[in-house]
């Protein structure tokens, strides 16, 4: 292969700690072993640009794997070899459990498929992660035919283990020194290549989104969620890139395994033993989907501590939640929210509000071969040591040199944004040398990631979370920058353009779900008599149509209409924009739509009509007024027509909600028409 300028610079600074990443891919296809295990060996034998050295190193790696890595089809052969030789070195994943009925630790070797292997307590105490998911290691395994336990022969003994990881040395000092030899773009590309990606095929935004996946490795107690399609590499980062992270299946994790002592001897669970705990397939988090577990999660995600009896325990593990959204983003935003992949019990607002960042998983392309690099990158184990050492730094105050955070950010928002910016700076400027432009670009992403959380809370929790216009202010120019989300659409669902006569928007309550939804009513008239209703119409809406039709028919002269409803067959169609089953308190909108169609006059553009009228022309107030106005406003309403009895409720609306929104009141149906109809 041809070395590029970045390859050459990488060799100058990190010789002996780099590897050609396509070698990893080729071996990975042959041997199902974690990337950091392969790179541990490749880094020792293939860290060179000399093709002959690389080829010889590859043969050595293959030999070592052949003689020491346990393949599933060679289990009995390895057992026999250990027995014949008395001692043999194996590369395997080792786990340890305490069998309390025997008061003894037993190890299990995953690939070798031996459940009860003797291991000394000194090794267990030295490597506590053996008790929490296990570690890959080079294992000195011996065979002692005289070793019995409770009258059963247990001959396999772990004499020693060497976890697959490089000695750290003074990694942080090295990185601070070498970073100065790279431009920001070169360093960014080196980090991406070290994870196996080829940066030259990625846009700048995609580069930064991939880098954001690494923030939990460098920030203590960082809470990240990423939901999106399958095949985009969500799980890979947390499974393959570091021996200090663990990816657990959603259905396997419990409160006990996550927080509480695993051994009964005072040890805490996963959060105390790993830098990153990532939950795969969050839809399966059934064992955490209960009030007790969620409360413990909330405490830990907020403060980095949790209670164990009367004792308060602290831990530093970052929590990552990854999963799949079955709906496309546009549909999810129109009909639901972007936390829909969580179990229903975990769609707790206070729990979700603890997330510092929500990565838009739908923006990541599915992994393809051309996205994988064939250039050099840091050996993953060395990268993992770098990431771990960077946890000791903090750049949370970097924002303050150039910017102020807007008033819309509360304390939790500010903490989230600062941690994200700090994470980006650690990853891309570990030497602490950065510019205002650097901080501004990271700040925009940090606010975007946090705002995505807040926008979903607004959809789920209503007016309490309305103010999502998160911003920052430049200290030099005093300009305020409001950060928007790429998936947001300004026009959303309510068209700002003039609509045909008989068309009007309204908000109704779906009685079954207890949620409000946006509807578009379309009315057409033709020769005949009576009326028909089609669309998403339940019992409440049918009653609203009957009330509106009968009221207009009995008061036709009162509105100086020179036409008779008896001369027309009126077709009312309810367009179910948000897939609700029906909507109550919508009679006023049906009345306005009927009049608009009968008289061939359109409703004012961007108008939403709220409220209920009675058969005698009475006007009923809108229940949950703020929620209805919020739903209309966030979907593009420019004016809302509401009963006069709700005028007192306007004062309760946040000022941000009222910006650009005209609210008009009516005390009777005629006034509702005047406020709604053009002309």
Tokens of 150: 């409770």
* Number of domains comprising the chain: 4
Residue 656 contacts residue 466 (beta carbons within 8 Å):
yes
Instruction: Report the 10 Å Cβ neighbour count for 486.
Output: 12
Residue 669 contacts residue 591 (beta carbons within 8 Å):
yes
Looking at the domain assignment, is residue 515 inside a domain? yes
Order of strands, edge to edge, in the sheet holding 318-324?
245-249, 276-280, 318-324, 223-228, 357-360
Looking at the domain assignment, is residue 498 inside a domain? no
Q: Which of 144, 163, 182 is the last residue of a domain?
A: 163
Q: Which of 381, 414, 434 is the last residue of a domain?
A: 381
Rounded distance, CA 591 to CA 585, Å? 12
In total, the chain counts a number of residues equal to 679
Rounded distance, CA 634 to CA 297, Å? 31
Which CATH number does the domain housing residue 241 bear? 3.40.50.300
511 and 571 belong to one structural domain: yes
Closest to 161 (Cα-Cα) out of 115, 128, 133: 128
Closest to 173 (Cα-Cα) out of 378, 430, 423, 429: 430
208 and 317 belong to one structural domain: yes
Give pLDDT, residue 490.
47
264 and 371 belong to one structural domain: yes
Looking at the domain assignment, is residue 20 inside a domain? no
Residues 6+ apart with CB under 8 A from 411: none
Dihedral angle over CA of 31, 32, 33, 34, nearest 10:
130
Which helix (H) or strand (E) is 1 found in, with range?
Answer: none
149 and 257 belong to one structural domain: no
Q: Which of 106, 136, 163 is the last residue of a domain?
A: 163
CA 479 to chain centre: 30
Rounded distance, CA 641 to CA 607, Å? 7
398 and 419 belong to one structural domain: yes
Strands 531-535 and 568-576 come out as parallel
Task: For CA atoms 372, 378, 384, 390, give the dihedral sign.
Answer: negative
Which CATH number does the domain housing residue 669 bear? 3.30.230.10
Give pLDDT, residue 238.
93
Residue 399 contacts residue 443 (beta carbons within 8 Å):
yes
Classify 664 as helix, strand or coil.
Answer: strand
Rounded distance, CA 668 to CA 670, Å? 6
pLDDT tens digits along 615-643: 999 999 999 899 899 889 888 898 999 99
Strands 639-643 and 607-609 come out as parallel
621 and 534 belong to one structural domain: yes
587 and 657 belong to one structural domain: yes
Looking at the domain assignment, is residue 151 inside a domain? yes
Residues 6+ apart with CB under 8 A from 325: 227, 228, 229, 332, 338, 340, 341, 361, 362
Classify 411 as helix, strand or coil.
Answer: helix
288 and 359 belong to one structural domain: yes
Residues 409-428 as b/e (b if ≥16 CB within 10 A, e otherwise) read: beebbbebbbbbbbbbbbbb
Closest to 160 (Cα-Cα) out of 134, 113, 131, 127: 127
Task: For CA atoms 397, 400, 405, 411, give the dihedral sign.
Answer: positive
The mean predicted confidence, pLDDT, of the chain is 88
Which helix (H) or strand (E) is 15 found in, with range?
Answer: none
Rounded distance, CA 275 to CA 262, Å? 17
The range of the structural domain enclosing residue 236 comes to: 168-381
Task: For CA atoms 357, 362, 368, 373, give the dihedral sign.
Answer: negative
Rounded distance, CA 123 to CA 535, Å? 68
467 and 548 belong to one structural domain: no
Looking at the domain assignment, is residue 10 inside a domain? no
Q: What is the reported pTM?
A: 0.75
Tokens of 128: 């506590």
Closest to 157 (Cα-Cα) out of 268, 82, 67: 82
Rounded distance, CA 534 to CA 541, Å? 11
DSSP string covering 371-409: GB--SEEE-HHHHHHHHHHHTT---TTGGGGTEEE-TT-
Classify 414 as helix, strand or coil.
Answer: helix
Looking at the domain assignment, is residue 196 inside a domain? yes
Rounded distance, CA 151 to CA 171, Å? 49
The 3-class SS string of 483-519 reads CCCCCCCCCCCCCCCCCCCCEEEEEEEECCCCEEEEE
Tokens of 36: 């950091």
Closest to 666 (Cα-Cα) out of 638, 636, 645: 645
Looking at the domain assignment, is residue 219 inside a domain? yes
Q: For the chain, list residues with pLDDT below 70.
A: 1, 29, 165-169, 261-267, 308-310, 334, 462, 489-492, 679
520 and 602 belong to one structural domain: yes
416 and 523 belong to one structural domain: no
Looking at the domain assignment, is residue 41 inside a domain? no
Give pLDDT, residue 656.
76
406 and 292 belong to one structural domain: no
Classify 615 as helix, strand or coil.
Answer: coil
């Amino acid at each position: 292969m041809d070395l590029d300028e970045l390859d050459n610079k990488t060799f100058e600074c990190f010789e002996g700690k780099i590897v050609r990443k396509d070698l990893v891919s080729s071996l990975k296809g042959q041997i199902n072993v974690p990337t950091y295990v392969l790179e541990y060996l490749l880094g020792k034998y293939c860290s060179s640009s000399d093709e002959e050295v690389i080829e010889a190193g590859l043969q050595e790696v293959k030999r070592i794997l052949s003689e020491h890595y346990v393949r599933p089809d060679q289990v009995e052969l390895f057992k026999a070899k250990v027995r014949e030789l008395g001692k043999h070195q194996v590369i395997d994943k080792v786990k340890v459990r305490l069998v309390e009925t025997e008061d003894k630790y037993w190890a299990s070797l995953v690939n070798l498929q031996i459940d009860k292997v003797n291991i000394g307590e000194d090794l267990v105490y030295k490597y506590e992660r053996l008790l929490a998911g296990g570690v890959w290691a080079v294992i000195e395994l011996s065979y002692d035919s005289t070793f019995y336990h409770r009258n059963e022969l247990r001959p396999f003994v772990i004499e020693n283990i060497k976890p697959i990881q490089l000695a750290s040395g003074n990694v942080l000092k090295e990185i601070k020194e070498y970073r100065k030899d790279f431009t920001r773009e070169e360093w960014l590309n080196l980090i991406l290549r070290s994870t196996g990606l080829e940066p030259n095929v990625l846009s700048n935004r995609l580069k930064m989104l991939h880098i954001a996946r690494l923030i939990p490795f460098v920030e203590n107690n960082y809470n990240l969620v990423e939901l999106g399609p399958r095949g985009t590499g969500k799980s890979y980062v947390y499974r393959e890139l570091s021996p200090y992270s663990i990816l657990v299946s959603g259905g396997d994790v419990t409160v006990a395994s996550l927080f509480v002592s695993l051994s009964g001897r005072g040890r805490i669970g996963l959060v105390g033993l790993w830098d990153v705990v990532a939950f795969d397939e969050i839809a399966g988090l059934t064992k955490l989907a209960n009030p007790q577990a969620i409360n413990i999660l909330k405490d830990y995600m907020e403060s980095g501590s949790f209670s164990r009896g009367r004792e308060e325990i602290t831990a530093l593990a970052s929590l990552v939640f990854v999963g799949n959204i079955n709906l496309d983003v546009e549909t999810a935003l129109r009909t639901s929210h972007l936390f829909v992949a969580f179990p229903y019990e975990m769609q707790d607002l206070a729990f979700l509000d603890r997330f510092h960042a929500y990565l838009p998983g739908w923006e990541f392309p599915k992994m393809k071969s051309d996205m994988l690099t064939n250039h050099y990158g840091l050996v993953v184990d060395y990268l993992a040591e770098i990431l771990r050492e960077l946890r000791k730094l903090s750049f949370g105050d970097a924002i303050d040199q150039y910017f102020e955070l807007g008033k819309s950010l509360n304390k939790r928002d500010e903490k989230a944004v600062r941690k994200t910016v700090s994470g980006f700076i650690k990853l891309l400027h570990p030497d602490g040398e950065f510019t205002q432009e650097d901080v501004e670009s990271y700040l925009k992403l940090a606010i975007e990631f946090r705002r995505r959380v807040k926008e979903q809370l607004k959809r789920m929790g209503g007016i309490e979370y309305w103010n999502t216009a998160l911003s920052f202010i430049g200290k030099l120019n005093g300009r305020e920058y409001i950060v928007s989300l790429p998936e947001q659409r300004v026009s959303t669902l309510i068209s700002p353009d003039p609509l045909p006569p008989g068309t009007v928007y309204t908000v109704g309550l779906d009685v079954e779900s207890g949620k409000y939804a946006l509807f578009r009513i379309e009315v057409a008239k033709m020769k005949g008599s009576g009326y028909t209703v089609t669309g998403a119409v339940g019992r409440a809406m049918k009653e609203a149509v009957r009330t509106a039709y009968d009221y207009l028919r009995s008061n036709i002269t009162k509105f100086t209409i020179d036409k008779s409803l008896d001369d027309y067959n009126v077709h009312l169609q309810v367009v179910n924009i948000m897939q609700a089953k029906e909507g109550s308190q919508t009679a006023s909108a049906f009345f306005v739509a009927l009049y608009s169609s009968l008289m061939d006059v359109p409703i004012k553009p961007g108008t939403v009509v709220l409220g209920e009228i009675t058969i005698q022309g009475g006007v009923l107030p809108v229940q949950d007024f703020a929620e209805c106005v919020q739903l209309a406003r966030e979907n593009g309403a420019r004016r809302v027509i509401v009963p006069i009895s709700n005028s007192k409720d306007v004062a309760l609306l946040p000022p941000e909600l009222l910006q650009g929104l005209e609210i008009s009141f009516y005390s009777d149906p005629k006034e509702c028409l005047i406020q709604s109809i053009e002309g």
